[in-house]
Structure 1
């Protein structure tokens, strides 16, 4: 999961681990790229710190670069305008969830995208 907020990462981690998923955390796009390939599904905030690549750039890299494993990506972001969603989907988001979100919605999206043998 990639989010610059400790609170959001904790919320996502707890909910996914309770459902049996193994979770790795990244607080920046740079750290995310260090963890891939590997994850089956990535949850990705689009609004990341200015010190590294933004979420859309990370999303494009994850989906286009075979060396990164091309994981499925659930965008979890406060970027909630219709044009934000269009940008995310055109960059390759497999699911798009806006903050604040219901944890069950996130878990359902990850479960739908995860390979059955990975959790």
Structure 2
């Protein structure tokens, strides 16, 4: 639940159908409202109203890349400035630094434990909640 009382809205952004499904199912089982996007462009269309975005930095489409999307999510007030959890295979220390400097609120590398991702999303979506 968000601070407004409704279920937290999460946008899952990954170019892999399997990863999007894995994240969506785990979040829905915990009561989150979930939408999906397979590209950076689609993310930017769907993001208004999202509380949290899980974002892959290595998007394969020809649209904006993950880092560009992250920067836009954090800087453009029209996009709502959601909290962003990077979920990516970009696991080098310099990858993490780039993600954090672009505004990531959390950085999780693949492969990941779904329970860890759910806990991270919950803490970001519901600041001050009993699990934060």
Same fold (TM over 0.5): yes
1:37 aligns with 2:77: no
1:96 aligns with 2:115: no
Structure 2 stretches lacking a partner, 5+ long: 1-11, 128-132
TM-score (norm 2): 0.86
1:83 aligns with 2:94: yes
TM-score (norm 1): 0.95
Matches within 5 A, 1:1-119: 1-115=12-126
More strand by share: 2
Which whole-Å CA distance do the structure 2 matches of 1:12 and 1:103 have between them? 7
Which whole-Å CA distance do the structure 2 matches of 1:59 and 1:36 have between them? 11
- The structure 1 segments of at least 4 consecutive aligned residues displaced by more than 4 Å after TM superposition are none
Which whole-Å CA distance do the structure 2 matches of 1:37 and 1:55 have between them? 17
Structure 1 residue 109: Cα displacement? 0.5
Structure 1 stretches lacking a partner, 5+ long: none
